[in-house]
Amino acid sequence: MLKSVKTGLGLACAMVVLAGCSSTDTDDSAQQQMTQVQEPVVETPAQETAVPLDNVVYFDFDQSLLKPTTRELLIQHADRMRGNSATVRLEGHADELGTREYNLALGERRANAVRDFLVLQGVDAANLEVISYGEERPAQAGSSESARKMNRRVVIN
Amino acid sequence: MMKNLLKTVAVFVAVSLSVGARAQLVVDITSGIDDPTPIAVSPFNWSGSGVLSEDVSGIISADLRRSGLFAPVPQADMLSFPKNPEEVVFRDWRILGTEYVVTGRIEPQAAGYLLTFDLVNIFGQQKMFTKQVSGGSRQLRDIAHRAADEIFEAITGIRGAFSTEMIYVLEEQRGGRPSYALMRADIDGARAREIRRFSAPVMSPMWSPNGQEVAYVSFETGRPAIFRENLSTGSRQQLTNFKGINSSPTWSPDGTKLAMVLSKDGNPEIYVLDLNTGKFTRMTRHFSIDTEPNWMPDGKSLVFTSDRGGKPQIYQLTLATGQVDRLTFDGDYNARPRVSPDGKTLVVVHRSRGVFTIATMDINTGRMRVLTETTLDESPSIAPNGAMLMYATKRGDKGILAAVSLDAGVKYNLPSQRGDVREPAWSPYFD
């Protein structure tokens, strides 16, 4: 039940933001609308913070593009980060395919993509710290495609 | 005359920090050339007391076999065990098809051993040389490798690299958590020992050109930072602590500079650090990923990986002008270039049909050749004689080291008995 509420919220936010992004001067109003949408769905702020958000987002091979589902999730993260001065670490990772140093760069590119998106949502860039581990810290060992999928990720900590 | 005949093993201090934590690598030869040269290393005479701790003639045989160019005769097939050239019966060895015989004598010395060894050409019916190698009481393996170098060079004309070493990364589980170590071993995998242990990932080890230091990337500070460490004293220095990536250190051929990758400007760029002045100079300016620099032997340009064309490919940067030229066009993924000692061949990680292999490219013609047949091959490192390279691959889910000759004829694996091993760095010559 909670899960479906979360997804619904994410979709609503994504639609509002996408609409906001299509014109140049509506960022602020988009954010305000998001807040408005948010309040009726989630009953109290106390409950909102009690629901943990997924803190891992995934990528395609050699890609740093944010998938639509990732954007939805990041919008929810941004809602919680705005006005909060805690530092958040964005840890970029890559799968085992390709070379280690290149993957270090790829992990950073992914974490930067998440950072840039969060900043667009109004999160203070000074509170976001990017670090890449490349392929050095896999979430899942092994060479299966399912393991690789889990390893091409950014962890929001 | 005596000077030519007498070769003395340089005594280098082997820093063994943790004898208990051994991760021995065992050679497993998978292919050699079609027609290797038959050679017999007759068991050496030992004129001291007790039993030697190492089988010196056996180590020489193993070195020559691992080169893929030789087929050492098993002791069981030998009709006699000559100890000097006068005892070699040419007819007996001709019957076996043996082309060369090595004889030798080990004598105790005040602080170690002296090996006198001879190379005999059976079909030419003549002694090619007699040489001597000496070393300390714990250097029998060094003595053997040095003798193998001499034998290899006399027959092939290529300088032997059996007395070189390698540094690699070991990852294993300790108390349910990953533990990492920079390891150092003889190039045959023996005498593996820890240089340093880490609780966070360590990567990209690179020997200094004089073989005295190693540069590497450690995450111990919470972000990747570049260190240089003296291999004899164990003292080390953190060279970088910039925001973002600090990676891919690589020494200039004269050892005065370190090329590296820093992303402090927003995305990964190639920098050169002058080790004397501490000054960093930015070498690339591009919004794409620029990484994995390696010096050309003349020190005048760098090759590196960039995805400025959309996919990772190899580019060459001329340091004096800043001009960048693309070198690879074959395949949609070419990365982590290493240049052969003669500057003529590029070794890269190459993807074709979704499989990552090690390939060479002739820099003049652009012709590319795939050397390996496994699927997750990476981190090639070329021997100082340019004959072989070591790389990392997977067997099952386990990281192992493997070697292949630059002409692809010779292959062997060096699986670790413990943990995952990767990122081999082949040492330079130590003299």
**A16 or B173, which is more confident?**
B173
pLDDT score at A40: 45
Provide the percentage of residues in chain A whose pLDDT is more than 70: 68
Type of residue found at A47: Q
User: What's chain B's average pLDDT?
Assistant: 93
The verdict on A141 touching B (C-beta cutoff 8 Å) is yes
* B149 lies in the same domain as B178: no
The CA distance from A147 to A41, in Å, is 35
* B181 lies in the same domain as B99: no
For the stretch A95-134, pLDDT in tens is 999 999 999 999 999 999 999 999 999 999 999 999 999 9
Comparing CB atoms, the residue among B203, B289, B378 nearest residue A105 is B289
For residue A20, count other CB atoms closer than 10 A to its CB. Answer: 20
The verdict on a CB contact (< 8 Å) between B289 and A101 is: no
* B291 lies in the same domain as B225: yes
Indicate the residue among B131, B156, B181 that finishes a domain: B156
* B103 lies in the same domain as B242: no
pLDDT at A36 over 90: no
The CA distance from B406 to B409, in Å, is 8
The verdict on A97 touching B (C-beta cutoff 8 Å) is yes
CB B64 within 8 A of CB B41: yes
pLDDT at B21 over 60: no
pLDDT score at B400: 96
The verdict on a CB contact (< 8 Å) between A102 and B379 is: no
pLDDT score at B375: 86
pLDDT at B14 over 50: no
> Which chain B residues are closer than 8 Å to A104 by Cβ?
203, 224, 245, 247, 291
Helix H or strand E encompassing B129: strand B126-136
> Which chain A residues are closer than 8 Å to B305 by Cβ?
99, 101-102
CATH of the domain at B184: 2.120.10.30
For the stretch B165-174, pLDDT in tens is 999 999 999 9
Could you tell me the pLDDT band of residue B353, with boundaries at 50, 70 and 90? confident
What are the φ and ψ backbone dihedral angles of B336, each rounded to 5 degrees? 45, 65
For the stretch B259-313, pLDDT in tens is 999 999 999 999 999 999 999 999 999 999 999 999 999 999 999 999 999 999 9
* B246 lies in the same domain as B184: yes
B1 lies in some domain: no
Overall number of domains in chain B: 2
User: What's chain A's average pLDDT?
Assistant: 78
* B329 lies in the same domain as B205: yes
Whether this model's pTM surpasses 0.90:
no
What are the φ and ψ backbone dihedral angles of A142, each rounded to 5 degrees? 105, 165
> Which chain B residues are closer than 8 Å to A109 by Cβ?
267, 289
* B241 lies in the same domain as B339: yes
B15 lies in some domain: no
For chain A, what is the radius of gyration of the CA atoms?
16
Could you tell me the pLDDT band of residue B328, with boundaries at 50, 70 and 90? very high
Q: What residues pair up with B348 in beta bridges, in sequence order?
A: B359
Indicate the residue among B97, B132, B156 that finishes a domain: B156
B12 lies in some domain: no
Average pLDDT over every residue of B119-148: 97
The CA distance from B49 to B182, in Å, is 38
Residues of B with CB under 8 A from a CB of A: 178, 201, 203-204, 219, 222-224, 244-245, 247-248, 261, 263, 267-268, 289, 291-292, 305, 311-312, 333, 335-336, 349, 351, 356, 376, 378-379, 394, 397, 423
Closest CA–CA distance from residue B383 to any residue of chain A (Å): 20
pLDDT score at B26: 77
Residue B329's domain spans which residues? 165-426
The CA distance from B373 to B361, in Å, is 17
**B59 or A10, which is more confident?**
B59
The verdict on A132 touching B (C-beta cutoff 8 Å) is yes
Using DSSP's 3-state secondary structure scheme, residue B58 falls into: helix
CA-wise closest residue to B200 among B218, B227, B183, B184: B218
> Which chain A residues are closer than 8 Å to B263 by Cβ?
105, 108
String of DSSP letters for B268-315: -EEEEEETTT--EEE----SS-EEEEEE-TTSSEEEEEE-TTSS-EEE
CA closest to B293 among chain A residues: A101
The CA distance from B161 to B21, in Å, is 26
Helix H or strand E encompassing B362: strand B355-362
pLDDT at B22 over 60: no
* B321 lies in the same domain as B293: yes
* B331 lies in the same domain as B231: yes
Q: Strand B70-72 and strand B37-41: pairing?
A: parallel
pLDDT at A34 over 80: no
* B339 lies in the same domain as B259: yes
The verdict on a CB contact (< 8 Å) between A102 and B376 is: no
Token pair listed for B223: 């972000």
CB B383 within 8 A of CB B161: yes
> Which chain A residues are closer than 8 Å to B219 by Cβ?
133, 136
pLDDT at A94 over 50: yes
Could you tell me the pLDDT band of residue B396, with boundaries at 50, 70 and 90? confident
CA-wise closest residue to B350 among B328, B383, B317: B328
* B76 lies in the same domain as B189: no
Q: Which residue shows structure tokens 């979709």?
A: A11
Average pLDDT over every residue of B60-79: 95
B193 lies in some domain: yes
Average pLDDT over every residue of B366-385: 95
pLDDT at A140 over 50: yes
Comparing CB atoms, the residue among A96, A102, A142 nearest residue B292 is A102
Least confident interval from A37-41, B243-247, B299-303: A37-41
CA closest to B268 among chain A residues: A105
Average pLDDT over every residue of B131-157: 97
> Which chain A residues are closer than 8 Å to B423 by Cβ?
100
> Which chain A residues are closer than 8 Å to B312 by Cβ?
98-99, 102
Token pair listed for B109: 């010395």
> Which chain B residues are closer than 8 Å to A99 by Cβ?
292, 305, 312, 335-336, 349, 378-379
Comparing CB atoms, the residue among B244, B351, B376 nearest residue A130 is B244
Strand order in the sheet with B398-405: B28-31, B411-414, B398-405, B388-395, B378-382
CB A14 within 8 A of CB A30: no
CB B187 within 8 A of CB B426: yes
Give the list of residues 6+ apart from residue B366 with CB closer than 8 angstroms, or none. Answer: B327, B328, B329, B330
Give the list of residues 6+ apart from residue A28 with CB closer than 8 angstroms, or none. Answer: none
CATH of the domain at B57: 3.40.50.10070
The CA distance from A118 to A79, in Å, is 9
Strand positions, DSSP E, A22-140: 56-58, 88-93, 128-134
Q: How many CA atoms lie within 13 A of A96 on its CB side?
A: 23
pLDDT at A18 over 90: no
pLDDT score at A49: 53
CB A62 within 8 A of CB B252: no
Closest CA–CA distance from residue B343 to any residue of chain A (Å): 22
Indicate the residue among B95, B126, B156 that finishes a domain: B156
pLDDT score at B276: 97
pLDDT at A29 over 90: no
* B238 lies in the same domain as B350: yes
The CA distance from B172 to B148, in Å, is 33
B287 lies in some domain: yes
The CA distance from B217 to B196, in Å, is 13
Q: Which residue shows structure tokens 């066009």?
A: B329
pLDDT score at A59: 96
B281 lies in some domain: yes
Any idea what the Cα angle at residue B222 is, between residues B219 and B224, rounded to 5°? 40
B101 lies in some domain: yes
pLDDT score at B415: 86
Burial class (CB in 10 A: 0-12, 13-18, 19+), A24: exposed
The verdict on a CB contact (< 8 Å) between A101 and B336 is: yes
Could you tell me the pLDDT band of residue A50, with boundaries at 50, 70 and 90? low
The verdict on a CB contact (< 8 Å) between A96 and B376 is: yes
Q: What residues pair up with B230 in beta bridges, in sequence order?
A: B213
B328 lies in some domain: yes
Type of residue found at B3: K
The CA distance from A61 to B141, in Å, is 46
